[in-house]
């Protein structure tokens, strides 16, 4: 508790911001669907980190409850997303997102 | 008794339905007798209702019976109901009475026609529609009947539709009537918008609260509707052509009943007309007077026995409109009733003549028929004296009344009316002399007897049939009893009908007292300067003018002064002032070009605008859809930029706030 008390939430928030930016940039620049997926996870967990940090600072359990929601939704998303990626692999050689542009206008 | 008002229209409706189902099987003459019985039953019901109404106190003389709720739409309620009051029962009595006689007459007239039962089917439907028109307790039911009689008129004018001329005459009547119907419809809309009701009792109660402008619009639109149905300038053109139908139809629809629908409507709506600006009654009076004069001049030069009567009908309807415009509703309705008697009689008489003359309608082929057809001739002459205003015949009373009120309105209108009355005497006398007197022109072949007519028909390529009789000798004969009996019944009515509203003493004005509860709102009262002496002078003047017209015709036609005849029967009159042919020429020439131009405008400008909007949308969206690249990263970038913008907004708010 001493350690936690001595540190403010600032470092956590900075780390969360760095992780989020990494995820966002990775999502935009990478072509592999699997990697993009991991980037999305990274962004979600960066937000989770900010939630937990702020929850502690404000002494409000709401932030931690939000984290549980995000985890549940992320788990569901992983199931659906991986299912899609598997089916893409079955049809094509790789999982390059730019190849899947049949719905363009 | 008042619960049985629905029986009045139910009888002809039942007759119609029975004839639709069994008509062909019943055949001739049973179908005709069935139809006649249906209308006679309706007449009996009308008489019973009339007697029952008579027993009521003056201001309780109105039975309103609602059968069912017809159209409940939000705030708009229309009940299916009938209103039996002095006005509608008066109409019912003469409509069903005359219709019964004409049905009976038709049994004889339509003898041997292959579509015998269909004719009676239409006639019954017509009587039903006409009764709906007069009995309806709101404008919508009146409109239903109004359209019904229009449709029946169309069916019956083009009854012998294998002949092109008849079919197009029917179409002409229908289309011309539609122009007027538009006015009636707009009047209904305005009435509902202004008063919230189209029920006649409601209109009477609410009309004093009407704004002058609204009342003016309603009255003017009603007048437009009445102009179409009652064949007034400028919409009269269909009525002369409507003579293409069988003669009983001309008598029933185009003389006695349907064409009076416009008069009825204006009389019914008199509380609204009285609220309108004064130019509306003036317009009605002026149009009426001009129509009376205009049609009378045309009638002078017509050679077709029915065309004379048709133009005469237009002219007499003009008199009725003159009366309504002058605020003389009683006089208008009075003339309508007497006109129904004598014009019905004259048309049936002309039908009897045509029947006897083996289908010939041109008066230049007739003459000297008095001895061959005594009953027709005597009754026809009663009608002639009645319409010419011969003292103590029906027209004498009613026309004098109209001219008296016209004098009170304006001396110019009175003068026009007087000239028209004189012409009435003239053309009717001309007709009687040409048909019944003088040397016969039918006892030899056409070429010998009437070389002028023969040459005309040769040139136009007209063969016997449809108005043209055989070219050989004709053997005229008196018509069967079914045709002469209606003449014998209508004769005394035309003779004595005027005593319904005799101006000779106060108690003689039975019709005026009877109709008072309905028309008291709009009825004009003569100005104080109108003394009894002036009334007598005007009456004598009107009678004299009629007599002068008759004498002049006698000099011209009985003395056979060929020169004077040619000077009177101008070609311009024979052609109806070229009114009809001008319209046809205009519609075929410059009018056609105008319509083509409008069609071009519609196609290129209106359609162009619509299509233009469409293609602008198409081009924009063609460009717009390229935004959808199909690459996930683009969408993700969009999301990110959006999220950043939202975050920036929130942050800036937090900072400034």
Q: Does residue B550 sit in the same domain as residue B610?
A: no
pLDDT in tens, B591-647: 888 889 999 999 999 999 999 999 999 999 999 888 888 888 888 889 989 999 999
B561: confidence class by pLDDT, cuts 50, 70, 90: low
Residue A6 clears pLDDT 60, i.e. is over it: no
Lowest average pLDDT, out of B29-33, B378-382, B451-455, goes to B451-455
Residue B37 clears pLDDT 90, i.e. is over it: yes
Q: Which residues of A touch B (CB under 8 A)?
A: 24, 27-29, 36, 97-98, 100-105
Give how many domains chain B has, as a whole number: 3
Amino acid B338: pLDDT: 92
Q: What is the mean pLDDT of chain A?
A: 86
Q: For B26-76, give the secondary structure using H, E and C.
A: HCCCHHHHHHHHHHHHHHHHHHHHHHHHHCCCHHHCCEEEEEEEEEEECCE
Q: Does residue B389 sit in the same domain as residue B413?
A: yes
Q: Which of A21, A22, A98, A100 to mutate to test the interface with B (most CBs of B within 10 A)?
A: A98
Burial of residue A61, with CB atoms counted within 10 A of its CB: 0-12 exposed, 13-18 middle, 19 or more buried: exposed
* Residue B644, min C-alpha distance to chain A (Å): 12
Average pLDDT, integer, range B372-396: 90
Q: Would residue B226 count as lying in a domain? A: no
3-state secondary structure of B437: coil
Shortest CA distance from B641: residue in chain A: A24
* Residue A6, min C-alpha distance to chain B (Å): 28
Residue B52 clears pLDDT 70, i.e. is over it: yes
Of residues A28, A29, A104, nearest to B630 (C-beta): A104
* Residue B608, min C-alpha distance to chain A (Å): 29
Residue B371 clears pLDDT 60, i.e. is over it: yes
Amino acid A2: pLDDT: 46
Token pair listed for B344: 């019905």
Q: Does residue B542 sit in the same domain as residue B643?
A: no
Token pair listed for B147: 């359209």
B68: confidence class by pLDDT, cuts 50, 70, 90: confident
Shortest CA distance from B634: residue in chain A: A28
pLDDT in tens, B345-364: 999 999 999 888 888 888 88
Residues of A in contact with B633 (CB under 8 A): 27-29, 97-98
Percentage of chain B lying above the pLDDT 90 cut? 37
Q: Does residue B315 sit in the same domain as residue B459?
A: yes
Q: Does residue B636 sit in the same domain as residue B542?
A: no
Q: Would residue B524 count as lying in a domain? A: no
State the Rg of chain B over Cα: 30
Residue B42 clears pLDDT 90, i.e. is over it: yes
> Do the Cβ atoms of A30 and A38 come closer than 8 Å?
no
Shortest CA distance from B635: residue in chain A: A28
pLDDT in tens, B445-493: 888 877 888 888 888 777 776 677 777 888 888 888 888 899 999 888 8
Peptide bond into B29 cis (omega under 30): yes
Give the residue, A99 or B89, on which the prediction is more confident: B89
Q: What is the mean pLDDT of chain B?
A: 87
Q: Does residue B355 sit in the same domain as residue B379?
A: yes
Q: Would residue B473 count as lying in a domain? A: yes
Q: Would residue B194 count as lying in a domain? A: no
Interatomic CA distance for residues B480 and B472, integer angstroms: 24
Phi and psi torsions of B114, nearest 5°: -65, -25
Peptide bond into B480 cis (omega under 30): no
Residue B564 clears pLDDT 90, i.e. is over it: no
* Residue A29, min C-alpha distance to chain B (Å): 8
Of residues A102, A103, A105, nearest to B627 (C-beta): A105
**For residue B47, is it left (φ>0), alpha (ψ between -120 and 50) or beta?**
alpha
Amino acid B76: pLDDT: 80
Amino acid B581: pLDDT: 81
Residue B79 clears pLDDT 90, i.e. is over it: no
pLDDT in tens, B87-143: 999 999 989 999 999 999 999 888 888 888 889 999 999 999 999 999 998 999 999
Lowest average pLDDT, out of B75-79, B82-86, B330-334, goes to B75-79
List of residues 6+ apart from B49 with CB closer than 8 A? B1, B2, B4, B5, B8, B63, B84, B89, B92
Burial of residue B244, with CB atoms counted within 10 A of its CB: 0-12 exposed, 13-18 middle, 19 or more buried: buried
Q: Would residue B6 count as lying in a domain? A: yes
| C-alpha triplet B42, B313, B402: angle, nearest 5° | 90
Q: Does residue B431 sit in the same domain as residue B337?
A: yes
Strand ranges (DSSP E) for B237-375? none
B628/A contact by beta carbon, under 8 A:
yes
Across the A/B interface, how many CB contacts are shorter than 8 Å?
34
User: CB count, 10 Å around CB of B383?
Assistant: 31
User: CB count, 10 Å around CB of B436?
Assistant: 24
Shortest CA distance from B629: residue in chain A: A104
Helix spans in A7-104 (H): 10-29, 33-58, 62-91
pTM of the complete model: 0.78
pLDDT in tens, B395-440: 888 888 899 889 888 889 999 999 999 999 999 999 998 889 888 8
Q: Does residue B461 sit in the same domain as residue B598?
A: no
Average pLDDT, integer, range A73-102: 84
Q: Does residue B536 sit in the same domain as residue B634?
A: no
Q: Does residue B597 sit in the same domain as residue B487?
A: no
Q: Would residue B40 count as lying in a domain? A: yes
Token pair 């003088």 is found at B438
User: CB count, 10 Å around CB of B328?
Assistant: 28
Containing structural domain, residue B284: 278-497+532-574
- Domain borders along chain A are 31-96
Burial of residue B504, with CB atoms counted within 10 A of its CB: 0-12 exposed, 13-18 middle, 19 or more buried: exposed
pLDDT in tens, B204-248: 888 888 888 999 999 999 999 999 899 888 888 888 888 888 889
Residues of A in contact with B627 (CB under 8 A): 105
Of residues A97, A102, A104, nearest to B633 (C-beta): A97
B83 strand-pairing partners: B64
Q: Does residue B565 sit in the same domain as residue B650?
A: no
Contact B628 A28 (CB under 8 A): no
Q: Would residue B404 count as lying in a domain? A: yes
Closest C-alpha among B368, B352, B347 to residue B434: B368
Amino acid A1: pLDDT: 45
Topology of domain A31-96, CATH: Helix Hairpins (1.10.287)
Q: Would residue B15 count as lying in a domain? A: yes
Interatomic CA distance for residues B230 and B239, integer angstroms: 9
Of residues A28, A100, A103, nearest to B637 (C-beta): A28
Residue B12 clears pLDDT 90, i.e. is over it: yes
Q: Does residue B424 sit in the same domain as residue B341?
A: yes
List of residues 6+ apart from B248 with CB closer than 8 A? B102, B105, B106, B109, B110, B123, B348, B351
Contact A104 B628 (CB under 8 A): yes
Final residue of a structural domain among B88, B116, B137 = B137
Average pLDDT, integer, range B21-42: 89
């Amino acid at each position: 508790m001493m350690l936690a008390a001595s540190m403010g939430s600032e470092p956590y928030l900075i780390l969360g911001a760095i992780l989020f930016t990494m995820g966002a940039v990775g999502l935009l620049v990478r072509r592999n669907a699997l990697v993009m997926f991991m980037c999305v996870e990274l962004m979600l967990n960066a937000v989770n980190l900010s939630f937990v940090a702020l929850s502690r600072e404000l002494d409000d359990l709401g932030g931690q409850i939000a984290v549980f929601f995000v985890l549940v939704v992320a788990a569901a998303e992983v199931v659906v997303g991986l299912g899609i990626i598997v089916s893409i692999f079955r049809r094509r050689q790789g999982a390059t997102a730019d190849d899947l542009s049949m719905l363009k206008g | 008794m008042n619960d049985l008002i629905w029986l009045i229209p139910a009888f002809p409706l039942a007759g119609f339905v029975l004839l639709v189902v069994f008509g062909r099987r019943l055949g001739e003459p049973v179908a005709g007798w069935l139809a006649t019985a249906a209308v006679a039953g309706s007449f009996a019901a009308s008489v019973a209702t009339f007697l029952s109404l008579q027993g009521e106190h003056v201001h309780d003389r109105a039975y309103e019976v609602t059968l069912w709720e017809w159209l409940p739409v939000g705030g708009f309620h229309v009940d299916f109901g009938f209103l039996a009051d002095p006005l509608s029962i008066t109409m019912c009595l003469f409509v069903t009475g005359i219709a019964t006689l004409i049905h009976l007459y038709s049994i004889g007239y339509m003898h041997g026609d292959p579509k015998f039962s269909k004719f009676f089917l239409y006639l019954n439907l017509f009587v039903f529609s006409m009764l709906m028109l007069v009995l309806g307790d709101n404008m919508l039911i009146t409109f239903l009947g109004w359209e019904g009689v229009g449709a029946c008129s169309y069916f019956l004018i083009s009854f012998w539709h294998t002949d092109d001329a008849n079919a197009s005459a029917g179409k002409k009547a229908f289309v011309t009537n539609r122009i007027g119907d538009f006015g009636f419809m707009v009047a209904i809309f305005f009435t509902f918008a202004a008063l919230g009701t189209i029920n006649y009792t409601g209109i009477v109660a609410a009309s004093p609260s009407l704004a002058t402008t609204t009342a003016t619009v309603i009255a003017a639109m009603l007048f437009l509707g009445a102009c179409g149905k009652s064949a007034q300038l400028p919409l009269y053109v269909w009525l002369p052509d409507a003579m293409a139908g069988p003669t009983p139809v001309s008598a029933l629809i185009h003389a006695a009943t349907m064409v009076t629908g416009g008069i009825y409507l204006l009389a019914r709506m008199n509380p609204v007309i009285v609220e309108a600006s004064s130019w509306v009654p003036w317009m009605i009076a002026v149009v009426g007077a001009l129509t009376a004069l205009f049609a009378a001049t045309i009638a002078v030069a017509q050679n077709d026995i029915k065309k004379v009567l048709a133009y005469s009908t237009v002219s007499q309807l003009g008199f009725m409109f003159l009366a309504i415009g002058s605020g003389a509703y009683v006089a208008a309705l009075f003339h309508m009733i007497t006109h129904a008697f004598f014009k019905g009689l004259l048309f049936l008489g002309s039908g009897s003549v045509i029947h006897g003359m083996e289908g010939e309608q041109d008066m230049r082929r007739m003459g000297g028929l008095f001895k061959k057809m005594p009953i027709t001739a005597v009754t026809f002459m009663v009608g002639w004296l009645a319409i010419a205003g011969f003292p103590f015949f029906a027209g004498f009373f009613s026309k004098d009344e109209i001219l008296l009120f016209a004098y009170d309105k304006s001396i110019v209108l009175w003068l026009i009316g007087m000239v028209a009355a004189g012409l009435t005497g003239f053309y009717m006398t001309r007709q009687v002399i040409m048909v019944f007197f003088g040397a016969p022109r039918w006892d030899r072949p056409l070429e010998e007897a009437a070389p002028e007519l023969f040459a005309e028909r040769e040139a136009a390529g007209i063969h016997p049939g449809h108005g043209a009789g055989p070219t050989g000798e004709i053997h005229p004969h008196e018509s069967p009893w079914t045709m002469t009996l209606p003449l014998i019944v209508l004769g005394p009515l035309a003779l004595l009908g005027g005593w319904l509203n005799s101006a000779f003493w106060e108690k003689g004005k039975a019709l005026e007292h009877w109709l008072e509860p309905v028309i008291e709102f709009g009825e004009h009262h003569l100005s104080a300067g109108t003394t009894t002496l002036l009334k007598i002078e005007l009456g004598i003047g009107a009678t004299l003018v009629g007599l002068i017209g008759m004498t002049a015709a006698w000099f011209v036609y009985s003395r056979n002064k060929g020169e004077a005849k040619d000077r009177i029967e101008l070609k311009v009159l024979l052609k109806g002032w070229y009114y009809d042919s001008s319209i046809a020429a205009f519609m075929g020439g410059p009018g056609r070009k105008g319509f083509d131009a409008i069609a071009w405008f519609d196609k290129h400008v209106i359609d162009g605008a619509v299509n233009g909007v469409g293609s602008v949308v198409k081009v924009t969206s063609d460009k717009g859809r390229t935004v959808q690249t199909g690459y996930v990263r683009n969408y993700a970038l969009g999301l990110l930029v959006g999220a950043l913008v939202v975050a920036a907004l929130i942050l800036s708010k937090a900072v400034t706030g």
